[in-house]
Amino acid sequence: MLADAVEALTAAGVDSPQPDARWLLAHALRVDVGRLILVDEVDETALRRFRDDVARRAAREPLQHILGRVGFGADTAAIDLRVGPGVFVPRPETELLLQWAVATAPRGALVADLCSGSGALALGLATARPDVRVLAVELFDDARTWLRRNAAAQPVPVATRVAVVAADVTDPGGLAAAIAAQAGPTGWPVDAALDLVVANPPYVPELTDGTPTPISPEVAADPHRAVFAGADGMAVITPMLQSVRALGRPGTALGVEHDDATGPAVAAAMDAAGFAAIEPHDDLAGAQRFTTAVQG
Ligand SMILES: C[S@@+](CC[C@H](N)C(=O)[O-])C[C@H]1O[C@@H](n2cnc3c(N)ncnc32)[C@H](O)[C@@H]1O
């Protein structure tokens, strides 16, 4: 069964046919992928489910949409997130920004995760750091539905330290007002300046000559507004820095993920917005993936 599935997924151009086939089989059998070896029998229902799911994956539906979930983060920050149409599927490279945030947040920090999507950074950080409170800011309703669901699915001590905020991160006044309005329902104070801001905003530069930007079918399944940010990839990042300034204080730490081609532009925008100690960070493939700074 696995060999047939791997063959079908390979023929369909799937990047990782072996692991995907194993994940789909484990999903069909309702077992952890590590326990596949222990399964002796596959009943008709599971077999049908597996074949259907392999067909969906061969049609290039994202693996995480078929499974309905994705694991994100490592060690103490490891979490399980529900994902599907309408929300960006968190990517492994963002785990590096999470690691940085876990190590950087001052004790008792008030943190904002701007452009929170499924809540990957907000919930990972709140899980790893029981002393921090996190504002998870997301503009779009469908993504925010997944975010609220993921926040509510966390253990109570984590869920109660994450407040979901509906706001546009490029509008400093609107964002400040939306955060202030959170103080009532969540019960904890948000009148202090932010100590740390993390953001994985839309950042892929878009072709402007009318030809569609070449992306894989899996990336095309993410909402367009979650991925693309104008011709230079900076349409959200540049105005978002003004929001960070407005909500931060001298010393507020900032980490922003970006396109591998826009590291210098992000550093220049941070410098122009009054941030110091600007430092690029590479991903595991050696590409510049996120930049950190401190508010001056
Ligand atoms: C690349 S996704 C990242 C999601 C999540 N932080 C992660 O790492 O998986 C960017 C997210 O920003 C949201 N977004 C786009 N423009 C926004 C804006 N102006 N204000 C707030 N959220 C925005 C999108 O809906 C999407 O959920």
C-alpha pair distances (Å), 293 with each of 19, 101, 187, 245, 287: 37, 12, 30, 12, 18
Q: What pLDDT is attached to residue 184?
A: 60
Q: What is the pLDDT of residue 208?
A: 77
Of residues 207 and 136, which shows the higher confidence score?
136
Q: Which residue has the higher pLDDT, 1 or 21?
A: 21
Is 118 near ligand 1, meaning CB less than 6 Å away?
yes
Cα of 192 to ligand 1 centre, how many Å? 24
CA distance 95 to 233: 21
Q: pLDDT for 5-58, tens place per residue?
A: 999 999 999 999 999 999 999 999 999 999 999 999 899 999 999 999 999 999
pLDDT for position 193:
93
pLDDT in tens, 156-187: 999 999 999 999 999 999 999 999 887 666 67
- The percent of residues above 90 in pLDDT, for the chain, comes to 91
Measured in angstroms, how far is the CA atom of residue 115 from the centroid of ligand 1? Answer: 3
Residues 276, 80 contacting (CB under 8 angstroms): no
Structure-block tokens of residue 135: 């504002």
Percent of the chain topping pLDDT 70: 98
> Under the phi-then-psi rule, with left for phi > 0, alpha for psi from -120 to 50, and beta for the rest, what region is 145?
alpha
Q: What is the pLDDT of residue 227?
A: 96
Ligand 1 atom at shortest distance from the alpha carbon of 94? 8
Tokens describing residue 184: 């009532």
Average pLDDT over residues 183-204: 86
CATH superfamily of 74-295: Vaccinia Virus protein VP39 (3.40.50.150)
Q: Which residue's alpha carbon is nearest to atom 14 within ligand 1?
A: 115
Atom of ligand 1 nearest to the CA of 113: 6
Q: What spatial distance separates the first Cα and last Cα of the chain, rounded to whole Å?
A: 59
Tokens at 183, concatenated: 């103080």
CB 123 within 8 A of CB 116: no
What pLDDT score was predicted for residue 6? 98
Which residues, other chains included, contact 272 with Cβ-Cβ below 8 Å and sequence gap of 6+? none
- Give yes or no for residue 17 CB within 6 A of ligand 1: no
State pLDDT tens for residues 84-102: 999 999 999 999 999 999 9
What's the average model confidence in pLDDT over 197-221?
A: 90
Q: How far apart are CA 22 and CA 180, in angstroms?
A: 46
Q: Ligand 1 centre from 218 Cα, in Å?
A: 17
Q: What is the mean pLDDT of residues 58-72?
A: 98
| Candidate from 64, 70, 88, 148 with most ligand 1 atoms within 8 A of CB, to mutate | 88
pTM of the model: 0.96
For residue 140, give the ligand 1 atom closest to its CA.
25
* Structure confidence by residue, pLDDT tens digits, 105-132: 999 999 999 999 999 999 999 999 999 9
Query: CA 160, 164, 165, 170: dihedral to nearest 10 degrees?
Result: 120
Mean pLDDT confidence for 198-221: 90
Site to probe by mutation for ligand 1, drawn from 139, 146, 175, 224 as the one with most ligand atoms within 8 Å of Cβ, is 139
Residue 200 CA to ligand 1 centre (angstroms):
7
User: How do strand 253-257 and strand 288-295 relate by DSSP bridges?
Assistant: antiparallel
Average pLDDT of the segment spanning 138-147: 98
| For range 142-154, the mean pLDDT | 97
Q: Residue holding tokens 């994202």?
A: 62
67 CA → ligand 1 middle, Å: 22
* Residues, the chain: 296
2-11 and 44-58 helices, crossing angle to 10°: 20
- The pLDDT, as a whole number, for residue 90 is 98
Q: What spacing in Å lies between the alpha carbon of 229 and ligand 1's midpoint?
A: 11
pLDDT at 185: 63
- Average pLDDT of the residues in 72-87: 96
DSSP class of residue 36 equals G
Q: What pLDDT shows up at residue 197?
A: 98
Domain with CATH 3.40.50.150 in the chain: 74-295
| Mean pLDDT to the nearest integer, 153-157 | 95
| Tens-digit pLDDT profile for residues 247-263 | 999 999 999 999 999 99
